[in-house]
Amino acid sequence: MSNTAETAPATVPDFPQTMGHPRPLWMLFMTEFWERFAFYSVSWALALYIVAHFFNGDPAGEAWASKIYGAYTALIYATSIFGGYVADKVIGYQRSILIGAAVMALGLFVVMLPSKDIFLFGLAMVVVGNGLFKPNISSMVGQLYGPKDERRDRGFTLFYMGINGGALLAPLLTGWLASYFTDTPTQENYRIVFGAAGVGMALSLFWFWFGRRGLKSVGRPAPDQANRMRVVWVLVAVAVAVPLVYLLLAFIGANGLQWLLSLLFVGVAAMLVVEAARHDRVQLDRVIAMLIIFAFNILFWMMYFQLGTSFNFLAANMVDREMFGGWMFPVGWFQSVSPVAIIVLAPLVTQVWALLARRHKEPSIPRKFGLGLVFNGLGFTALMYALTYSVDSHGLIPFWPLTACYVLQTIGELCLSPIGLSMVTKLAPPRVVGVAMGGWFLSMAVGGNLSGLLAGQISGDSGMTAASALAGFTFSFWLLAGAGVLLLLISPLINRLMHGVR
């Protein structure tokens, strides 16, 4: 679930070791744990809160909530490009993370205030703060190890466990809080979720603030970046960026944002092609292969990010969540299925790839992407079956189809997501690897915004129904399945364009 380059410096400080790894790894582990707790708490509650609070529970608000969620998700990824630049070129990693964490924590508390405009302004603060935080915390993990340190991959594995640990705890704890601290059993208290997320982000900030001295020189500003006026200028930039993001959310909207993101993506693609053409035909072929995979990546996340919109509305209104003794399974707990599945299945998927590699049959990068698309699509078949054959007299479907959908989509994510950044570093022209990383982030941002637009279509003007959900999920299945099969069929062509990169 991390989306940053794994960098390593030429020289590494002499760190004390804990459990066979540099001691600062564990500080970064907990910093990221609490940030991910905050992020995934907001992710499951955001669209539901909009409908409950700003539309008084009227399903007619689902379309607008979906578009806001999609735009928010898209901007989270898009602003990471600028946050990485600020850390690299302006103030260093440590200062970027501290500023980003502080802005995010404040924004999460602002989101709780009962006004639509203030709510959107708080979301804009979270987006800008996340842009400074997200791409830089993982980069510092890579800087704890030398370029040839064999422990480096294991260190990232441990760090990613922190990510998934926060993703697992967030819906379990905040889902329980939302269900427990409410006056009515059918209406969850989503505002308390944002409060808990704000507390989690504050813990992340304090953890890094008090632990950063252990990093020594890692992440500190370079000599030409040490001037504190640079920090002042970044704060000014944040003060300008937050209202701009607010305007994107409040006035330009998801449709306008889609045009902006698409133009940015085309611009990045053109820069990569021009740079590759200056090298040779091999480099140009590799960039073309990378851009083809970027296009399929958009489709994957367009469907996957429905977990925060269509799937949540389905869970809240159309899934039989009643358990023993009349107890209602919290909506947020469905979002814990994916991190559990990652923790359980990631080692199995790794072993399968290793077994196939020993037999010289491990799938290539485009084939793994194709499998990811197919498994993502298969997740929708469970919901299609339930909505066709298992709707009861109350208009509810059983508990298991949504759970099965999450598990199948997680298998798809494990086939696709872990190799994305590695692929970029292998295929991009050496001088513009950062631009190529921006293309990867933008492909996810475009997919995130499209997911909100699609979910808005599924809900329509009056809210999601069994019929509209079936139509939307059927469309999602066929688009993913068709794209996955197409990618598998053209994989030999893409492999030739990659010229030996695997």
Q: Residue 87 carries which DSSP code? A: I
Look up tokens 């802005």; give the residue: 103
CA dihedral 64, 70, 72, 75 (to 10 degrees): -140
Cβ burial of 136 (10 Å; 0-12, 13-18, 19+) is buried
Q: Write the CA distances from 324 to 173, 327, 328, 400, integer angstroms.
A: 20, 6, 8, 16
Cα distances from 476 to residues 306, 364, 413, in angstroms, run: 10, 25, 16
pLDDT score of 142: 77
In a 10 Å sphere around its CB, with 0-12 CB exposed, 13-18 middle and 19+ buried, how is residue 475 labelled?
middle
* Per-residue pLDDT at 3: 42
Residues in contact with 406: Cβ distance below 8 Å, sequence separation at least 6, in sequence order: 307, 311, 334, 337, 338, 341, 379
Q: Express each pLDDT in 57-104 by its tens digit.
A: 999 999 999 999 999 999 999 998 888 889 888 998 999 999 999 999
Rounded Cα gap, residues 467 and 392, in angstroms: 14
Residue 122 confidence (pLDDT): 97
- d(C-alpha 426, C-alpha 345), whole Å: 26
What span, in angstroms and rounded, lies between the C-alpha atoms of 135 and 272?
Answer: 21
CB 231 within 8 A of CB 103: no
Count other C-beta atoms under 10 Å from residue 246's C-beta: 20
Which mean pLDDT values do the consecutive 10-residue runs of the chain (502 residues) have? 46 82 90 94 95 94 97 94 87 93 97 94 97 85 78 74 87 93 76 96 96 89 87 96 96 93 94 91 95 96 96 96 87 94 89 90 93 97 97 94 97 88 84 84 95 97 96 98 97 94 80
Q: 251-276 as b/e, with b when 16 or more CB fall inside 10 Å? A: eebbeebbeebeebbeebbebbeebb
What is the structure's pLDDT at 5?
44
Cα–Cα separations (whole angstroms), residue 290 to 88, 145, 275, 501: 24, 28, 14, 11
**CA torsion, points 358, 360, 361, 367, in degrees to nearest 10?**
110
Of 180, 197, 211, 187, whose CA–CA distance to 110 is shortest?
197
User: 130 near 39, Cβ under 8 Å?
Assistant: yes
pTM of the model as a whole: 0.93
Q: What is residue 183's predicted lDDT score, i.e. its pLDDT?
A: 62
Q: Does domain 19-498 have CATH number 1.10.357.10?
A: no
Tokens representing residue 452 in the block = 């909100």
pLDDT per residue as tens digits for the range 119-166? 999 999 999 999 999 888 877 887 888 777 777 767 777 787 778 889
